[in-house]
Amino acid sequence: MRTFSYVRAPDVETALRTIATEPNAKFLGGGTNLVDLMRENIERPDVVVDISRLPLTGIDELPGGGVRIGALVRNSSLAAHPLVRTRYPVVSQAVLGGASAQLRNMATVGGNLLQRTRCLYFYDEASACNKREPGSGCSALGGFTRNHGVLGVSDHCIAAHPSDLCVALAALDAEVEVESTRGTRRIPLTEFHHLPGSTPHVETALAPDELVTSVELPAPVTTRSRYRKVRDRASYAFALVSVAAALEVRDDTVTAARLALGGVAPKPWRATEAERVLLGAPATEESFRSAAEAELASATSQDGNDFKIELARRTIVATLRDLLTDRSAA
C-alpha cells in the first residue's frame, strides 16, 4: 500500500478544515472499503482523515416520527437499534443481509453510502475500466457480467451498486445531510448516487470536501416492510438481486407501496414504475407481476446477466407476497 499521512479528526470542524485544505485527502470511516481499495492501488490519497471518532454516533427520534442516524453509527448498531427494528424492519434486515458480522462491526453508515462497486474489472488494474481510468474503456462489456446491472446502465459502464443498506434507504425516502466549510445541505438518497452516463467515475452528488453527517428517515408509511436478497450463497455475498419493499393494504387494495431494487443498477434503484402500478391496485399476485413487468420493461442485459431480469421480477413478486401474507403477524 502506498503511504499517506494520517490525521485523526477530534471534531467535525477539524475534519472539514483538513479536507478543505488538503488537495488529495480521503475520509476514513470503518476502513472496510477504503483500506481494501488503497491496498489494490485504486484509491491513492496523500492524506487520510480518520473520522471514526467523531461524535456522529446517535440514532435519534425526530419530532414527526422520523429518525436521524449519525454517519458514524456502525452498521451493526444500526441493525440492532430498537427504533430501527420496529419502525423500519427493512433497514435492519438489509444491513444484516450484508457482509459479515465482523465487517458490520467496523463499517459506518456514511462509508456504506460511499462504498464503490465490486465490478471485478474495476478491481483489476490490468483491465480497461472507465470508472477507474476515464476513457480507457469497459472490460465488463463482453466479459463476465454476472454481478453487473440491467437498469440505468450505459455503454460506458454497467457496474452495479453493491450496498444493501442503500436499497432500503432509497425505498424509504431517506435524506442525506452533508456538511463542508461552505455550509450544510440535504440530498435525497435517490439523488445521492449518479447513473454512469458517459462519466462513470462521477459516482455521487457529494463534493470532495463534503462530509456525510447523518441520514434522516421520515416517519414510515407503514411498519410492514421487508428486505429480500438473492445471492450465490446463503450468507456473506453481495446481492445478485435484492428487493426492499413496504406495503400497506386496506380492503384488499394497495394504499401505499415503496419499492427499491439492489444488485441490478449502478445506484440503489427506486422502483417508481412498479409503485405507480401498485398504488390503488388490488393486492393480488397479478398486480404484483404487472408492477414487476413495468419496472423491468426498460432493462437491457449482457449474456452473463440476462437471468437477472426475470429473477428481479420474481423477487419483487415474492417480496410483496411475503408482506401480504405476513399481515396478521405484523
Partner 1 sequence: MAEVRLRVNGADHPLDIQPQVSLLDALREHLGLTGTKKGCDQGACGACTVLADGERINSCLALAVQYEGAEITTIEGIDHPLQAAFVRHDGFQCGYCTSGQICSAVGMLAEHKEGMPSAVTGQGSGSHLSGAEIRERMSGNLCRCGAYNGIVEAIQEVAG
Provide the 8-state DSSP code for 24.
Answer: T
Q: Which among 265, 246, 242, 258 is positioned nearest to 311, based on CA atoms?
A: 242
Contact in structure between 159 and 115 (CB atoms under 8 Å): no
Q: Does 168 engage in binding with partner 1 (CB under 8 A)? A: no
Select the residue interacting with partner 1 from 97, 111, 196, 200 (CB under 8 A): 97
Which listed option, ligand SF4, ligand FAD, partner 1, none, makes contact with residue 163 (CB within 5 to 8 Å by class)? ligand FAD
Q: Does 138 engage in binding with ligand SF4 (CB under 6 A)? A: yes
Select the residue interacting with ligand SF4 from 51, 109, 158, 292 (CB under 6 A): 158
Judged by CB, which is closer to ligand FAD: 33, or 92? 33
Q: Does 119 engage in binding with ligand SF4 (CB under 6 A)? A: yes
Q: Does 130 engage in binding with ligand SF4 (CB under 6 A)? A: yes
Which listed option, ligand FAD, ligand SF4, partner 1, none, makes contact with residue 39 (CB within 5 to 8 Å by class)? partner 1
3-state DSSP assignment of residue 246: strand
Select the residue interacting with ligand SF4 from 16, 28, 78, 129 (CB under 6 A): 129
Closest distance between partner 1 and the C-beta of residue 248, in Å?
A: 19
Closest distance between ligand FAD and the C-beta of residue 26, in Å?
A: 4
* Sequence-ordered list of residues with C-beta below 8 angstroms from that of 39, at least 6 positions apart, any chain: 1
3-state DSSP assignment of residue 21: helix
* Sequence-ordered list of residues with C-beta below 8 angstroms from that of 316, at least 6 positions apart, any chain: 243, 245, 259, 261, 271, 274, 288, 291, 292, 295
> With the C-alpha atoms ordered 158, 277, 169, 98, is the resulting torsion angle positive or negative?
negative
Judged by CB, which is closer to ligand SF4: 139, or 242? 139
Phi, then psi, of 255 in degrees rounded to 5: -105, -15
Judged by CB, which is closer to partner 1: 126, or 234? 234
Q: Which residues bind ligand SF4 (CB under 6 A)?
A: 117, 119, 121-122, 129-131, 138-140, 157-159, 200
